[in-house]
Structure 1
Amino acid sequence: MSTPARLKGTLFVSGTRLLYVGPLVATRRHAHHAAQIVIAPGGLDIEDSVSGRIHVGGAVIPPHVPHGHGACAHAALLFLDGDERASRGLARDAEPRCEAWGRDALDVMVPRDPTPEMARALMASILSAVDLGPPPGPRHPAARRMCALLDGSGTDDVDLASLSREAGLSPRQMRHAFTRDVGLPMRAYLRWKRLRRAVAAVEAGASLSAAAASAGFADSAHLSRVFREQFGITPTQGLSSITWRTLD
């Protein structure tokens, strides 16, 4: 049995943004709480959840939209966390058909071995080349506070009843406001934040088992299952052979 291909490029970390530069491996269809902008000079196959497929040199994939892509020799992937205003703007007008994601007109050069300075410039070039549209309106104050609590707690032990009372909402209204403004139910949002913490732990040198425990997963198998759901590949494929660089 052959060993699954692994990502072997460089992952640049900058706050809520991740920029990967290097060869891509094929992924299964997946969805995550992040907008994804891809630049593939040699072209890349991208598919949606209804069997649509396109071959493009660039694409903007909104958050929460199921998608998959093929392998290619060299590309740049920019992930914008779903809490970013730019990502929220893309989510507002999300289109599930891959035909709407193509951006072949994007004129962005992708360096082979980017330095941190080149990576910052590449991020800026990608964002300036993409029409992100007008920024979205502000989230409900209760949804903003709940995001902060879930991000900081790492557990399900958030007093929803107390927060709802402070916001003048019932727990049901609170959940509805959160899902409407964030794009995910609270439990799915917490799962995404746990995954981000696990990735940060691996970046810091932790094993997958240690990263899973520190982020609140039951074990490494639980982490692997969630990672595959969110990114379409295993943590070993996605994290074990890349080079990490921090831009902040």
Structure 2
Amino acid sequence: MHFSIGDGYAVYRGPATDSGLHRHAAFQIVTALRDEVALADAAGAEHRATTLLVPPMVPHRLLPSPELVTFYIEPHAIFADHLREHYRDGIVAAPELADLHTVGEGRSRELDPRLVEAMTLLRQRNLTMPELAAAVGLSPQRLRALARQQVGMPLPRWRVWAELRRAAEALRSGQSPAEAAISAGFADQAHLTRRMREMVGLTPAAVLPLLRNSHSSATPAHQAADPQLPQDPHR
């Protein structure tokens, strides 16, 4: 099993248990290494394919699978531009992404650069909305509107995802779950556990061994040496 965090993405490789209903602030690309991956949407309908794509903020739960690879692509990452262009609906089969090895690094070229900067700042540290808006030269109202228009989520939802990312990084550095919760901006360990289950379908206790076993924050074990996007089947 493996879990690692890179610039604009995270990747998990291992089994899937029957998770609770949750929704990410990132795109999710999940590929079964044996048979098919299966997940259920909020209505209970099952989706099955070798590879499934789940857009941000779409409620779903993973069904048990012996081994899968899951990429979480943050909406301000450059590869998210590709996903927004070609996958506009809800949960969809995406067999053309089955051989995805890396998503490259860099920021979106399609989103408003002020929104990209705001999302990056929130990933680095906690800022109030007035502080964040001032840092990128927008009013709080305009910044909120940009987030809803361009990435389809309120900024507070992205703030929680950013805090979860910081908590994961703190866990990997050796902090206890209680310490990681406070340093990432959560009220306490119970708050961190609740939010992680809501957004990822996992708990810090489940993620901790994987993070401690990761050898690199930027390079998954199966990643190719040279960043490259998969061949675009739509061209």
Question: Do these two structures clear the TM 0.5 threshold for a shared fold by scoring above it?
Answer: yes
Matched, 1:61 2:61: no
Unaligned runs of 5+ in 1: 1-8, 109-121, 129-134
Name the SS of the counterpart of 1:20 in structure 2. Answer: strand
Of 63, 67, 88, 1:70 maps to 63
Matched, 1:138 2:107: no
CA change 1:103–1:148 in 2 (3 A) is: closer
Q: 2:77·2:108 contact (CA, 8 Å) conserved in 1? A: no
Matched, 1:24 2:16: yes
Name the SS of the counterpart of 1:159 in structure 2. Answer: helix
Q: Give me the CA root mean square deviation.
A: 2.8
Greater C-alpha Rg: 1
Name the SS of the counterpart of 1:244 in structure 2. Answer: coil
- How far residue 104 of structure 1 moved from its aligned partner, in angstroms, is 4.8
1:238 is matched with which residue?
Answer: 207
Matched, 1:152 2:124: yes
TM-score when normalising by structure 1: 0.74
CA change 1:89–1:64 in 2 (3 A) is: farther
Q: 2:30·2:37 contact (CA, 8 Å) conserved in 1? A: no
Name the CA distance, whole Å, in 1 between partners of 2:200 and 2:81.
19
Matched, 1:190 2:183: no
TM-score when normalising by structure 2: 0.77
Name the SS of the counterpart of 1:123 in structure 2. Answer: coil
Q: 2:81·2:109 contact (CA, 8 Å) conserved in 1? A: no
CA change 1:163–1:48 in 2 (3 A) is: same
- How far residue 32 of structure 1 moved from its aligned partner, in angstroms, is 0.9
CA change 1:184–1:105 in 2 (3 A) is: closer
1:123 is matched with which residue?
Answer: 101
CA change 1:21–1:64 in 2 (3 A) is: same
Q: 1:11·1:245 contact (CA, 8 Å) conserved in 2? A: no
Aligned-pair identity in percent equals 26
